[in-house]
Amino acid sequence: LTTDEMMVKMIRPQLPREKIEGCHICTYVMPGEPQVILGKDKAFTYDFVFDMDSQQDAIYSTCTEKLIEGCFEGYNATVFAYGQTGSGKTYTMGTGFDVNIAEEELGIIPRAVHHLFKGIEERRQAAQEQGRPVPEFKINAQFLELYNEEVLDLFDSTRDMKQKSHIKIHEDANGGIYTVGVTTRTVSSEAEMIQCLKLGALSRTTASTQMNVQSSRSHAIFTIHLCQVRVCASDNQESENDNKVSNGNNEMDEYETLTAKFHFVDLAGSERLKRTGATGDRAKEGISINCGLVSFEVQDTSDHEDGEEEEEEEEEEIDVEESSDDSDSESDEKENYQADLANITCEIAIKQKLIDELENSQRRLHTLKQQYEQKLMMLQCKIRDTQLERDRVLHNMTSVESGTEDKARKIKAEYEKKLSVMNKELQKLQSAQKEHARLLKNQSQYEKQLKKLQMDVTEMKKTKVRLMKQMKEQQEKNRLNESRRNREIASLKKDQRKQEHQLKLLEAQKRQQELILRRKTEEVTALRRQVRPTSGKVVRKVNLPEAAQDSSHRPPSGRMYSSSNTSSNGTWSSYRRTAGVYSTRMARNKWQTLERRITDVIMQRMTISNMEADMNRLLKQREELTKRKEKVIRKRDRLLKEGLEAEKTVLPLNEEVDALTANIDYINDSIADCQANIMQMEETKEEGDTVDVSAVIGCCTLAEARFLLDHFMSMAINKGLQAAQRESQVKVMEGRLKQTEITSATQNQLLFHMLKEKAEFNPELDALLGNALQENGDDSSSDESAQSPSAEGTTLASDIMKFCGETKTRSKARRRTTTQMELLYANSDSAPDAPTDFSSPMLSLAETPDGCGVDMDLSGPSVRDYTALSPGFSSKMGSMGVINPVPSTKSSRSATLQCVHVAEGHSKAVLCVDCTDDLLFTGSKDRTCKVWNLVTGQEIMSLGGHPNNVVSVRYSSSLVFTVSTSYIKVWDIRDSAKCIRTLTSSGQVTLGDICASNTSRTVTIPSGENQINQIALNPNGMVLYAAAGNSVRVWDLRRFASTGKLLGHLGPVMCLTVDRSGNNQDLVITGSKDHYIKLFDVSEGSLGSISPTHNFEPPHYDGIESLVIQGDIFFSGSRDNGIKKWDLDRKDLLQQVPNAHRDWVCALGIVPSTPALLSGCRAGVLKLWHTDSLGPLGELKGHESPINSIAANSSHLFTASDDRTVKIWRARGGLDSTLEGVDNADEVASN
């Protein structure tokens, strides 16, 4: 390795949150230089710098690859990532695993593991190729976590999180670091190592802060122990001399054992509490993270003493920053105390570790001393024995002959050699003894240092206790201050409420005084008005009808009530003074006052109502007179233009115009007087409303309030009883009136027939009848003329003749004699209205002529009066619905699609519709299905008893199928609307109505059932298809049995449509919320589950809402606002309109006898499209609410909407010209 330490700077890219907040990049990397410029004037130089676009493989190859190679040579190495929280340390180290991480994003640890095992495999292969023994490798892994100043084992899955860890870290005599109580896992492959790393990483403590969603709350140390046994190199002579083993003449290979440790440290990011927003446990973790940086000087064997000093300086800087940031509030002071306490605890733990190390060193020295002493005694004994042996040998040598001198010399040299060796050993032992003495001398110093450290620990413990006491005192002080401030705030709020209450009382008193002053002023004004002279307009009031005179006499009552109110107000002050004492007399007086006031208000409102009725009557009379005057003027002008007998003819008309003008002036004066009276009453009502009543009630005591409440209840009961009696009387009178109308109409009809028979023999009577019929035709055809009292009888006769089918067209002749209708209805005011029962029947919508448009008078005056009512108002027939004609306008006459009728009768949104040429079926949210007669325009019956909304309806062969929740009801409308079967979504069949007992709305669906969204019948009406959940159930209606299911969709099936193929198969097309449209071929008699034969591609972007078939093509509408056209033969997409509507396309329909498609959306808009080119033909606002369904018969279209109505539409002739224009444009484009 080139250097012992390298400092590498990596800059991560911006996070999405930082980009959204508009943060800017404040760093700049000098190209080709390891230098970072922060801001504008700060530059920092490192060994290497990686900018934001750097990749993980470049960082690894630069920083870590050489360290792995060094581990194979026995060198220890450490790589750690340091930085603030959220800076990407875990991502760079690779301890945060992600399932979908790409290979180029792997961190340092996975790449190092791969490199390590790759190097092992390469060394083994190289040894095999060179014929040398294969080196042996043993790899162990440890994973530690420092969390809240406690060392945890991440490989230990059985540890109790509530108990303290028992892991200890020690240093041996050689300066090596070893741990006690740590799980060590032996691994043999890269996969096992990665699995261990994943297991530990998932056990690591993480949490979320404002700066990092997944912040590491602890320091992590992943350690790899590599033990390698390999053959020694040939050039290592010293190793050969030490390790060579001789066994006879053969020599064995020499082996060496290399051990290395590689530490991967993922430090938790340094934090500032203000930036992270940490509180509670997160704040404690942030403090312990900064303190825990000190503990790594023991774990990292490649650090030195300077590194320890740097870590202490960094820790002090972090503490200073935290204290400076958090010194502005009481909570910050508490955090400072906690930080100081944590620092002291860290120092105590460190010094306690040093004490343990010194004690261990003393024990080792003592053991070494004993070993050296024993060995010295042994050597001394050996020397003494050798000397004795030498003396014995020398003594024996004296007795030996001189011939043995050579032998003695040899023995002497051998013993001298032994003595020299022993002397060397003795010298070594003496030097060891000196070293031991030196160590003993140092031991005293260590003991002094130990005592000093123990005293420091004791002092720190005292400081810790003192700081804890101060923190508790500060907390108590803060709590007292907070409670005192809360009491002050409560008292201030109480004072504020009192002031507001007093202000309201003063305002009420002021309003009462102003009211009294205003009423006094009114009394003075009224007295002044009484003495004024009578004007000419008042004199003319004598000639007004009785109703007008009554209305002119009602305002004085309002003035009388105001004066009475003033008199009553004069007693309220006395009521307030005695409000505290209950008195029956006072309560009775108050009740009488309130009762008079209520009576006055009722009379005042009745007066205003009568005046408004008179006003409306006068306005209607003025309108009728104005129309009659305009008619007479037009007639006079026409006669003047003709110039025939001008003087004789024009003179009566001029007199009639003058009379009408005088009447109109008279009515205008009456209207002006009514308006003045109404304005005066309205002003009186606004000035003296219910203030006096509220004042009387406000000054009541509890007992008086009970007295008043009792009387109010009695009064309400009496009034309610009277109203009920009046209502019953009104109903009886209405019944009598209806019977009288029927009798009168019958008599009129008979009389008309009698006169008609006589007219055959009397030419004069016949001419009179013809003139009457001609005038009736003029009056009914004129849009501007109003029916006069005499014209009502004529209209009745005309309606009777229409009912009989005998209307004749006569040439108009001028008459001067009385007509037959005038003879029949001499008293026009008493002429009865035509009853509903005798109104003319509605023409069949399928047979409506094009020329009549919407002006055809389908019923008598009663039906015309009904059309002016609101849609939710019931007709004279009770709650039965009715189909009303829609008045035509100039814009509607020119429109390509015209609304001709509206079916009204549902009380809630109409969700579905089906029709034939004679019948109409509608389902609604009011839980009913109504059956309508398109010939008479009346509701036939209402099918009720559904548990919830009726979402789909179909008709076939006198059977009506209605869908609600998970049930399909089968109705036989021939047998008085009887439910004969009930089908369920699960395939069950029940005789009769299974939901008859449920009278209230049911929201829940039984278990095992699904919501049925739509049903459809095949063309012959023998098979029913019901879309429920993700499937479509098939029903055989001949046996009322479920025969199978159509499967294949992943989402609920929302719509379906059925057609018949050439080989007698049902083509079922389904649309689902999974955006797909599927085609099913269902043969007759098919059973079980049926899979789709084709999936139409490409799908819509959202769920399918509607489908409609026309020949070999079909159209689909979706929630993605688009419409697509598909080919059934080729099974492909022909055309599409991506944004056909601005909202969901909820319904589709084919315009009868026209190549046009009608679409309706959730915004209530209808659009017409050419079926061939799918080009737009026009659009209009069909409904004010969402359009839910579209149906069509042979001549009309029907649209159901949330506005509780079903509109009936007819395509006009203008659509043909539009279609021709579109076809010509397509031909030009194709050419």
Q: pLDDT tens, 486-515? A: 889 989 988 898 898 889 889 888 888 888
Residue found under tokens 């003027």 = 633
- Angstrom distance (rounded) from CA 225 to CA 140: 5
Q: Which pLDDT score is estimated for 362? A: 83
Q: Where are the domains of the chain?
A: 368-397+407-529, 536-698, 739-838, 861-1009+1073-1084+1101-1230
User: Which of 96-105, 444-453, 845-854, 963-972 holds the top average pLDDT?
Assistant: 963-972
Residue type, 843: L
Specify whether the CB–CB gap between 611 and 677 falls below 8 A. yes
168: phi then psi, degrees, rounded to nearest 5: -120, 145
DSSP element (H, E) containing 1192: strand 1187-1192
Distances (CA, A) of 194 to 112, 113, 118, 197, 389: 11, 8, 14, 5, 67
Which SS3 state, helix, strand or coil, does residue 977 take? coil
Specify whether the CB–CB gap between 953 and 960 falls below 8 A. yes
Weakest mean pLDDT among 251-265, 343-357, 636-650 = 636-650
Average pLDDT over residues 1047-1058: 95
Q: Is the dihedral of CA 628, 631, 633, 635 positive or negative?
A: negative
Q: Is the pLDDT of residue 657 over 50?
A: yes
Q: Is 886 left (phi over 0), alpha (psi -120 to 50) or beta?
A: beta
Weakest mean pLDDT among 116-130, 763-777, 1012-1026 = 763-777
Q: Which pLDDT score is estimated for 23? A: 84
Strand partners for 914: 921
For the chain, how big is the Rg over CA atoms in Å? 54
- Angstrom distance (rounded) from CA 1106 to CA 1056: 8
- Angstrom distance (rounded) from CA 888 to CA 899: 8
Q: Which pLDDT score is estimated for 31? A: 85
Q: Is the dihedral of CA 183, 186, 192, 193 positive or negative?
A: positive
Q: What share of the chain is helix, strand, coil (3-state, %, to 5)?
A: 50, 20, 30
Greater confidence (435 vs 335) lies with: 435
Q: Is the pLDDT of residue 807 over 90?
A: no
Which SS3 state, helix, strand or coil, does residue 44 take? strand
Q: Is the pLDDT of residue 606 over 60?
A: yes
What is the band of 94 on the pLDDT scale with cuts at 50, 70, 90? confident
Q: Is the pLDDT of residue 776 over 60?
A: no
Q: Is the pLDDT of residue 552 over 60?
A: no
DSSP structure string for 1016-1044: EE-TTS-EEEEEETTEEEEEETTTTEEEE
Weakest mean pLDDT among 55-59, 187-191, 219-223, 854-858 = 854-858
Other residues' Cβ atoms within 10 Å of the Cβ of residue 543: 10
What is the band of 365 on the pLDDT scale with cuts at 50, 70, 90? confident
Model pTM score:
0.37
- Angstrom distance (rounded) from CA 1012 to CA 949: 11
Helices (H), 868-942: 890-894
Give the pairing of strands 1041-1046 and 1088-1090.
parallel
Greater confidence (739 vs 872) lies with: 739
Residue found under tokens 């298809």 = 1025
Q: Which pLDDT score is estimated for 16? A: 80
Q: Which pLDDT score is estimated for 1074? A: 93
Q: Which pLDDT score is estimated for 271? A: 60
603: phi then psi, degrees, rounded to nearest 5: -65, -40
DSSP element (H, E) containing 448: helix 405-530
Specify whether the CB–CB gap between 1175 and 858 falls below 8 A. no
Residue type, 873: F
- What is the percent of the chain with per-residue pLDDT over 70, rounded to a whole number? 72
Residues in the chain: 1231
Q: Is the pLDDT of residue 460 over 80?
A: yes
Which SS3 state, helix, strand or coil, does residue 928 take? coil
Weakest mean pLDDT among 642-651, 670-679, 1073-1082 = 642-651
Q: Which pLDDT score is estimated for 238? A: 44
Model confidence pLDDT, tens digit, residues 895-908: 778 899 999 999 99
Model confidence pLDDT, tens digit, residues 268-315: 766 655 555 555 565 566 666 666 655 554 444 444 444 333 333 344
Greater confidence (861 vs 1029) lies with: 1029
Weakest mean pLDDT among 223-232, 556-565, 773-782, 912-921 = 556-565
Q: Which pLDDT score is estimated for 349? A: 82
Average pLDDT over residues 1180-1203: 94
Residue type, 896: T
Average pLDDT over residues 325-348: 66
Distances (CA, A) of 501 to 495, 506, 576, 690: 10, 9, 17, 21
Cα torsion for 660, 663, 664, 668, to the nearest 10°?
180
Other residues' Cβ atoms within 10 Å of the Cβ of residue 442: 12
Give the distance from CA 1189 to its chain's centroid: 26
Greater confidence (39 vs 241) lies with: 39
Specify whether the CB–CB gap between 1184 and 1164 falls below 8 A. yes
Separation of first and last alpha carbons in the chain = 80
Specify whether the CB–CB gap between 422 and 382 falls below 8 A. yes
Q: Is the pLDDT of residue 913 over 90?
A: yes
Q: H/E/C letters for each residue in 67-116? A: HHHHHCCCCCEEEEECCECCCCHHHHHCCCCCCCCCHHHCCHHHHHHHHH
Model confidence pLDDT, tens digit, residues 927-943: 999 999 998 888 999 99
What is the band of 319 on the pLDDT scale with cuts at 50, 70, 90? very low
Specify whether the CB–CB gap between 45 and 95 falls below 8 A. no
What is the band of 1153 on the pLDDT scale with cuts at 50, 70, 90? confident
- Angstrom distance (rounded) from CA 1049 to CA 1071: 9
What is the band of 564 on the pLDDT scale with cuts at 50, 70, 90? very low
Specify whether the CB–CB gap between 904 and 871 falls below 8 A. yes
Q: Which pLDDT score is estimated for 270? A: 61
DSSP structure string for 1099-1136: PPSS-EEEEEEETTEEEEEETTS-EEEEETTTTEEEEE
Average pLDDT over residues 797-807: 39
User: Which of 8-22, 118-132, 296-310, 1099-1113 holds the top average pLDDT?
Assistant: 1099-1113
Q: What is the mean pLDDT of the chain?
A: 76
Buried b (16+ CB within 10 A) or exposed e, 1046-1081: bebbeebbbbbbbbeeeeebbbbbbbbbbbbbbbbe
Strand partners for 971: 960, 979
Burial (0-12, 13-18, 19+ Cβ within 10 Å), 286:
buried
Q: Is the pLDDT of residue 610 over 60?
A: yes
DSSP structure string for 780-809: HH-SSPPPPHHHHHHHHHHHHHHHHT----
Average pLDDT over residues 646-668: 83
Other residues' Cβ atoms within 10 Å of the Cβ of residue 1147: 27
Q: What is the DSSP letter of 228?
A: E
Burial (0-12, 13-18, 19+ Cβ within 10 Å), 528:
exposed
Average pLDDT over residues 914-919: 93
Greater confidence (536 vs 156) lies with: 156
- Angstrom distance (rounded) from CA 1078 to CA 29: 59
Specify whether the CB–CB gap between 911 and 862 falls below 8 A. no
Helices (H), 805-940: 820-824, 861-867, 890-894
Q: Which pLDDT score is estimated for 179? A: 82
What is the band of 1167 on the pLDDT scale with cuts at 50, 70, 90? very high
Residue type, 1103: G
Q: Is the pLDDT of residue 609 over 70?
A: yes
Q: What is the DSSP letter of 842?
A: P
Greater confidence (204 vs 556) lies with: 204
- Angstrom distance (rounded) from CA 937 to CA 848: 13
CATH 2.130.10.10 fits 861-1009+1073-1084+1101-1230, yes or no: yes
Cα torsion for 589, 590, 593, 598, to the nearest 10°?
-140
